[in-house]
Structure 1
């Protein structure tokens, strides 16, 4: 294989020497310790809450899809890796939902957002909700979503809202590893056997129709395309062009796959709505 550690170059630029891996590897410090949680003057609280909910929905739905690999991944090590990536995303979702509840004045907790909204109230991008498919599909999706989310979070580290900026700063460390992990596997599979190469080409074809929606939600096209081009070139894979499909998850327009996913995710909480978890 000819990966030449292409994915390692994606993690360059962190001068603090930290190992940008799991949430467990970035310390247990409270990312909001000492941060003023009051919404700063000049910020529209409703818009801030909506932005936090959308980012949280992306993370929650992605985490649920990754959890589906438990007991099904090719190797135990990859099962643990995917589960931990899902836990990182779940942690991001919790912080963002909590901030949304503060910002919109409702004081709603994270459970209210995660368990007691219907599919048309969710604002996640549609790529996150597609069924898991095979391992190649999940790797390509993770590569695309982590590259996009990392570029978005890097910009949010300078958000005028100090809470969102702190959440983004923590997320950047986690997402850097998510992208690195996906890039490593993309190169390994794309430049592997004829069968793994075929599956990666198929997965790219399945994912790319949903990429345009990401740039509508947040314009980080140049950063994301640069990463995808670098990885696919190293993997010997073509990077198909894309056109946005009609509709957008940010507007509540979802595929038929989101409602069944939420039914499973929310079933216990809805069956026992007064329970304390």
Structure 2
């Protein structure tokens, strides 16, 4: 692997790690706040799965970058503009309907993405995908069931789910966007073709909501910028909590 391709692969691994780290932190905010005990534990476990996935991606990225870079320096010593996670992952957790709607839409995407990443020519990325896909199937089963329960539930649950979809929908196009980095890695057989995932994702999502009384929003507004470091105001507040101990006590280790 050439030096340029190694660095591009490192950046790719880091952005996937950022996605997992930020979403995992958002889900962890439900710990002790779930609607009932079983769901509280379930959401906490899903958060832990994402933190574990973040460690694998960030650890591999740090290995490729070399020097003093570690998964910890990537997680705790970068500022907002240096994070490359998708914007949808950093949005505040909202109510339970918002969290589960976001999770379902991301789970459908994650399953397709990880299935494709298993075919990467980079053995480490393929191995991470193989490990992560097992938990993703469980995540998707849970979140899909919640779409049916909320969408076919009370008038209030349907209203909240419908509003969640309206609030999220414009952040979804970023899931399928390919930039120069990913196109370069796709040509090398390393990255996933995100654009090719959109059609099967839409089919899966449409099939789920066809079983409910909820209507999928029309495409219209859209936002992006996460991959280039342009984030919502919410990421800064999230990082102030996530990074506090390391900022207050630099270099501390457990």
Taking structure 1 as the reference length, what is the TM-score of the superposition? 0.83
| Structure holding more helix per residue | 2
TM-aligned CA deviation for residue 96 of structure 1 = 0.5
RMSD: 1.5
- Of 53, 59, 71, the match for 2:32: 71
TM-aligned CA deviation for residue 262 of structure 1 = 0.4
- Of 137, 157, 177, the match for 1:216: 177
Deviations 1:43-69 (A, max 9, x none): 811111111111111100101110111
CA distance in 2, matches of 1:61, 1:41: 30
- Of 93, 101, 119, the match for 2:54: 93
CA distance in 2, matches of 1:160, 1:42: 16
CA distance in 2, matches of 1:98, 1:80: 27
TM-aligned CA deviation for residue 42 of structure 1 = 9.4
Residue equivalent to 2:97: 136
TM-aligned CA deviation for residue 274 of structure 1 = 2.0
Deviations 1:242-265 (A, max 9, x none): 246243201111101000000010
1:212 and 1:243 in contact (8 A); partners too: no
Listed as ranges, the matches of 1:82-161 within 5 Å are 82-106=43-67, 108-161=69-122
2:171 and 2:224 in contact (8 A); partners too: no
Deviations 1:159-199 (A, max 9, x none): 11101100001111111111111100010000001110111
- Whether 1:206 aligns to 2:167 is yes
CA distance in 2, matches of 1:76, 1:54: 33
Residue equivalent to 1:44: 5
Deviations 1:70-108 (A, max 9, x none): 111111100100000010010010010111011223351
Residue equivalent to 1:58: 19
Listed as ranges, the matches of 1:13-32 within 5 Å are none
1:115 and 1:265 in contact (8 A); partners too: yes
Task: Give 5+ residue unaligned stretches, structure 1.
Answer: 1-39
- Of 230, 240, 257, the match for 2:234: 257
Residue equivalent to 2:246: 269
Residue equivalent to 1:189: 150
TM-aligned CA deviation for residue 213 of structure 1 = 1.0
TM-aligned CA deviation for residue 41 of structure 1 = 6.4
CA distance in 2, matches of 1:47, 1:243: 32
Q: Secondary structure at the match of 1:44?
A: helix
Aligned structure 1 segments of 4 or more residues deviating by more than 2 angstroms: 40-43, 104-107, 241-247
CA distance in 1, matches of 2:3, 2:130: 22
